[in-house]
Structure 1
Amino acid sequence: MSNFLFTPLENNILVKSVFDAILRTFDLDELLRSIVENLRKLGFDRADVFLIDNKRRVVKGTWGTDEQGNLKRISDEELSMDELPSREGYYVVGEKLLKEKLNIDAPAMFLRIGEEEKFQQLFGYMPPSPGYYKRVELGDNFCLPVVVENRTIGLIAVDNYISYRQISEADAQLLAMFVFLAGIALQKRQNRELLEETNNLGFSLSRQTKVDGILNTLFRDDWGSIKLLDYYYSIIGLVEGEYLSFKIGIKEVSGYKPVESFRIKIGEGITGHAVTTGKTIVCHDVTQEPRYITDSTGVDKTLAELVVPLKSGERVLGVLDIHHDEKNCFREDDVTQAEILARYIAAALERAELFEKLRDSEEMYRALVQASPDAIIMSDLTGKIIRANPRAVELSKVKDESELIGLNAFDFIAPKDQDRAREGLEKTLRDGFARDLEYTCLRSEGTQYPAELSISVIRNTEGKPMAFVGILREISERKKLEEQLRQKQKLESVGELAAGIAHDFNNILTGIIGYASIMMMQMEASHPFYNAVKTIKKASDRAAELTEQLLGFARGGKYMVRPVNLNDTVKNILQLTKETFDRAIDIETKLDENLSFVEGDPVQLEQVLLNLCLNARDAMPVSGKLTIETSNVTLDDYFARVHSDIEAGEYVLVQVTDTGIGMSSEIRQRIFEPFFSTKETGTGMGLAMVYGIVKNHTGAINVYSEVGKGSTFKIYLPAGEKKVTEERTEREEKLPRGSESILLVDDEEHVRNVGRAMLESFGYRVYLANNGVEAGKIYAEKQDEIELVLLDIVMPEMNGRETYRRLKKINSAVRVVIVSGYSINNQVRELLNEGAMDFIQKPFDVKTLASSVRKVLDRSLN
């Protein structure tokens, strides 16, 4: 072809200098302009430069000259690549004819008028009709394709219509050389521009954080230089589990549109195989590829396919799938460009995936913050609030977050704690965090509440502090529970001390009361010492009452458990109060007729109610109102959490309310302490005993009071199921006697002696043991003779519980009555449950001892 068309080059020095000038031009538009200008330097009157637009299948004008040869833009001129029209002065040979006859890949070639013979030699026939050419009288013109690596990238046309000079063979050769060199320059500039545009596309993709944004960026019309995106159509498939899903979007000649979702299994088809292997696949002819699967896009004109995996490291995220409607259209540079583009897309997809996880994480943390039961506040380094969650809004008593933003967090901390709060921030800046800082905080209306605060500092990428995040927890309930626990432990400690004192006193009083009762029983009233002994007995009884109160506080006292209707208890107390209280005090009762019974000691429960009524009376020295109420209540888990000394369940509530002087919080915290009293004549044991008895009945007592607004005592006792049985009211006037043998076991000598004297005065035979070991020996020897054992609990060497069990081993039917200076406690209950037959509390007199012994002996005999 070239040998036929061109003569040897005559002006290579001029071409080289012109080419050097072209190469020094970096901008593509400037390069095209320079080509036109330098063609004129080569001696041509006029010149036009066209570039190929594959997308629109047209030859587009760039720079050229007007009729006078002046430089001008010709970007509005376009020639169809399918049907190029004839131009004045030359033949236009179309793309199809060039391909079929000469195997040249070019959109068109222009041959000079008058060279029909050359046309015939080239194509084998003369131009078929005048429509392909037109003769003119002025000069001549010539056009050559710009071909680089067998690929046409443009056209250059020249003529000498101004000078009327015929284009010679030398001109044609000169033009051919120039076109060849210009093609190299154009290709370099286009590659440079393609690289820049690809980089720009990569940058635009990197700014997207969602897949839709990536596709909209990838398939928009801005990337004219990236011809891969201008092929028949392109599509993105993403890996989802075992499938490759094509639901993202495609780019056709008509533009971007979403794909109707479809998917293939990984490993199937060309795209699925690319995912499996992680390698690029070029299919030049899909009709010869058995793995090709006709897609579901509704477009079935694909003849060639290029698939590039989108990889993040070794992980395949999806594929870039490029289709063409011509076979053998993909070249090596297409593959390279596609792989570069795929790397950008994969990086963008990975970034979008990370942002999606970040968004999910942010959404999760936002939900956690919003739902947090603790207040979460973010502030700047000066303490100014930036963000606050709903709990912070609730605690601060404002309408919404906007009312907190801009305020200083220190304004919500009590003045007395602000210095410590600032120290906490300094510690946070130093250590990065500060935990469990307790402050008194303020609500917007000024009320206070205790809170626990943990603070962390937020730093930027350079490690510079940016903000604080504080987590604030209201601890009012915890503080209340802690105070309840401290009070409970305090009262228990005092109770143990009181119980120990009471026990020792009871042992002493047992001897005094015992001997006094024996002496009074054996003396006539006229005896000169009778009144003295009676006085001793009376004083001892009063001392015993005091120890009983101490034991009552220590969760004890004489304990005779039976079903009790508290309505009857209220009525009994009501009769007493009406007779003894000032009539200026109005007494009202509100009793539940369907009140459940409670299991307890009726005497002790009456004592509780009486003490509360007396306390209410003393709080109303002039006048007032006393209200006693009973009801069935159900305490839920929340109540049990708030009041740590009681469990959830069914309870009977007794509520005593007065309209008296009330109490301050300081007094309210101490009212159950033994010997604490605000009254000049008070012993300080009344409410202490109430507290002990209620606790001994596994109940709870709450107090509500304010100065000047009266007081309310609420007593909760577990509801029982047993019914009340009538008490025997018969009293035996004559004390019972007997002749059985009894073993009395006690480590106190005076208790043993007075006990023997009492029992012998009623006819019993008595054996004495001063500890459990001795008791075991005596009982083992005399078990056939001994009918009953009176057993003390607190003894050295072997205590009462161990002694009882040893006696049971000797004789499983042994009859035992427990005797103790303590009230019924866990040890006593345990022994009663194991078979002990009764309990006698010290100090006891002759009547108590004689009645209990006879009752047990008679019951066992029956």
Structure 2
Amino acid sequence: MTEPVKPGLDGPDFSAYKIAGLYAVLGGLWITFSDRLLWALVKDQAWVNSLQTYKGWFYVAVTAVLLYFLIRTALARIKRLEEARRATELKFLQAQKMELVGRLASGVAHDFNNVLTAIMGLAQITMRSMDEADTRRADLEDIINFSGHAAALTSQLLAFSRKQFFQPRPLDLNAQIKTSEKMLRRAAGEAVGIEFQLAGDLWKVMADPSQVDQVLLNLAVNARDAMPQGGKLSIKAANLEVGKSLHADGEELPPGEYVMLTARDTGCGMDQATMARAFEPFFTTKELGKGTGLGLSVVHGIVEQAGGRITMESKPAEGTVFRICLPRYSGPEPAPAPAAPRELPAGGKETVLLVDDQPEILMVMRRIAESQGYTVLGAGSYEEALARAASAGRIDLLVTDILLTGKSGVDLADRLLERQPGLKALFISGQAADPGVYDRVAAKNRPFLPKPFTAEALLAKVRQALDAPAA
């Protein structure tokens, strides 16, 4: 990591200008007092004239040499500043491109998640109506499983675009890595040996455990693909204190305390052209059909969403090193999360208001909830939900998509809470919206269920929200 070129008098070339200024001052003193000094030391006029001639040529020669070095330094400085300007422009253009592709990916993932929710829900509803011996159940199970694979792909799209809802908590990275060790060894394959170097006094970070697993998994898969004949992957976690801003690959790391995760492989490495595009979505050097090109872009999106930075170093035939720096968490320990229920909770007789602007999602949720005995009210918009709630008199639970036409589901919950204090709410979504909206969800510990979800997941969350104490 190197310090950036700084414009102005505080840059690294300021010493040259100080030398020039000092030389100008000394030169002026030399011209002013040298003649007097010569006359005081040498009384012979011929000697004085000869020495004055040599003195002039000496001063001209030194001045020429100094000007040469000053001009060379200035040109080198201009070149570095121009390179820095071009790098900044390229980074800005790359960020714009990533943002545009991210918006596209996020929108596609949102619509796809809605479709998957409907497919999975209807398949499960149909299965519940069949006998255990019905041979068609296997086909429906395949539909649900394939939908789950598609859901994993949309999750990667959302992670890359930084539009994935995440639930960060104080996390011991050592413990998370140890928990994921078996998964990483399976993903890397038998030909790749994995070595872990974990600092004993590692600081905690604020991160989503599932997203950390995704980062580790993608790095392991990337290393495996770079070592088709086998090799070694080293994963290291250590504390890092930054006293002043560090720069690498155009990424700035402000002063502070960090936990640095390093993944180093002995694979084929990358050239500069490949490195420049490594984090681009859908860019891959693999054969057609062998990869999606989302692995590293997903890692980049997750790290950025967590407030961290990722850099890489690589050379052909010399392997690749990824360094991820996550800010240290020094806050208080949160209360432990309630244990997940071991069995699927039973239904109930409560009144549930379901709100989603996608008719197919609303239909599936209604059928799932009614099958468990709940009284269900449905609404397709913010305004319709307010009207339904007013006519119902009292509702026990609001289940709403966060993204509604015109207004957010959080705004709807707050409005209904004014009418009915103590109302419980469950939020669902297929993508992230404005981060401020999710801050309002997380700040009040409101339950959240990402799309696509299964019937069991929806029913479990509904029961959990209803049984939770009122806020």
Number of the residue aligned with 2:402? 793
**Equivalent position SS for 1:720:** coil
Number of the residue aligned with 1:860? 469
Aligned CA distance change for structure 1 residues 779 and 371 (closer, same or farther; 3 Å): closer
- The higher relative CO (CA closer than 8 Å, separation ≥ 6) is in 2
Aligned CA distance change for structure 1 residues 842 and 577 (closer, same or farther; 3 Å): closer
Q: What is the RMSD computed on CA atoms of the aligned residues?
A: 3.3
Amino acid at match of 2:469: S
Report the CA distance between 1:476 and its aligned residue. 4.6
Percent identity, aligned pairs only? Answer: 35
Q: Does 1:682 find its partner at 2:291?
A: yes
Amino acid at match of 1:634: E
1:178-210 CA-partner distances (Å, limit 9, x unpaired):
xxxxxxxxxxxxxxxxxxxxxxxxxxxxxxxxx
Number of the residue aligned with 1:223? none
Aligned CA distance change for structure 1 residues 404 and 799 (closer, same or farther; 3 Å): same
Number of the residue aligned with 2:428? 819
Q: Does 1:652 find its partner at 2:259?
A: yes
**Pairs within 5 Å for 1:120-131:** none
**Pairs within 5 Å for 1:548-563:** 548-563=155-170
**Equivalent position SS for 1:844:** coil
Aligned CA distance change for structure 1 residues 636 and 776 (closer, same or farther; 3 Å): farther
**Equivalent position SS for 2:240:** strand
Q: Is the 8 A contact 2:241 2:256 kept in 1?
A: yes
Farther off after superposition, 722-731 or 821-830:
722-731
1:9-60 CA-partner distances (Å, limit 9, x unpaired):
xxxxxxxxxxxxxxxxxxxxxxxxxxxxxxxxxxxxxxxxxxxxxxxxxxxx
**Pairs within 5 Å for 1:359-758:** 373=12, 405=67, 452=78, 474-579=81-186, 581-639=188-246, 646-680=253-287, 681-721=290-330, 722-723=332-333, 731-758=341-368
CA distance in 2, matches of 1:727, 1:500: 32
Report the CA distance between 1:577 and its aligned residue. 3.7
Number of the residue aligned with 1:283? none
1:454-479 CA-partner distances (Å, limit 9, x unpaired):
xxxxxxxxxxxxxxxxxx76355554
Report the CA distance between 1:802 and its aligned residue. 3.3
**Equivalent position SS for 1:817:** strand
1:716-738 CA-partner distances (Å, limit 9, x unpaired):
11211355887777652334321
1:116-147 CA-partner distances (Å, limit 9, x unpaired):
xxxxxxxxxxxxxxxxxxxxxxxxxxxxxxxx
Aligned CA distance change for structure 1 residues 789 and 370 (closer, same or farther; 3 Å): closer
Could you tell me the TM-score, scaled by structure 2's length?
0.80
Aligned CA distance change for structure 1 residues 849 and 526 (closer, same or farther; 3 Å): same
Q: Does 1:804 find its partner at 2:393?
A: no
Amino acid at match of 1:701: I
Number of the residue aligned with 1:246? none
Q: Is the 8 A contact 1:596 1:652 kept in 2?
A: yes
CA distance in 1, matches of 2:21, 2:264: 42
Where is the helix percentage greater, Structure 1 or Structure 2? 2
1:349-384 CA-partner distances (Å, limit 9, x unpaired):
xxxxxxxxxxxxxxxxxxxx9977557999xxxxxx
Q: Is the 8 A contact 1:507 1:842 kept in 2?
A: yes
1:372-413 CA-partner distances (Å, limit 9, x unpaired):
7557999xxxxxxxx9789xxxxxxxxx9976655896xx69
Q: Is the 8 A contact 2:248 2:311 kept in 1?
A: no
Bigger Rg, structure 1 or 2: 1
Gaps of 5+ in 1: 1-368, 379-386, 391-399, 414-438, 443-450, 453-471
Report the CA distance between 1:492 and its aligned residue. 2.2
CA distance in 1, matches of 2:281, 2:435: 22
**Pairs within 5 Å for 1:302-341:** none
Could you tell me the TM-score, scaled by structure 1's length?
0.45
Number of the residue aligned with 1:760? 370
**Pairs within 5 Å for 1:69-88:** none
Report the CA distance between 1:706 and its aligned residue. 1.8
**Equivalent position SS for 2:180:** helix
1:790-834 CA-partner distances (Å, limit 9, x unpaired):
111222243324323322332343222111111475144233156
Amino acid at match of 2:130: M
**Equivalent position SS for 1:695:** helix
Amino acid at match of 2:120: I
CA distance in 2, matches of 1:389, 1:761: 87
Amino acid at match of 1:773: E
Aligned CA distance change for structure 1 residues 600 and 556 (closer, same or farther; 3 Å): farther
- Give the counterpart of 1:830 among 417, 423, 439: 439
Aligned CA distance change for structure 1 residues 402 and 802 (closer, same or farther; 3 Å): same
Number of the residue aligned with 2:37? none
Number of aligned residues: 421
Gaps of 5+ in 2: 1-7, 23-61
Farther off after superposition, 569-578 or 699-708:
569-578
Where is the strand percentage greater, Structure 1 or Structure 2? 1
CA distance in 2, matches of 1:671, 1:635: 26
CA distance in 1, matches of 2:21, 2:12: 10
CA distance in 2, matches of 1:591, 1:850: 40
**Equivalent position SS for 1:474:** helix
CA distance in 2, matches of 1:389, 1:630: 49
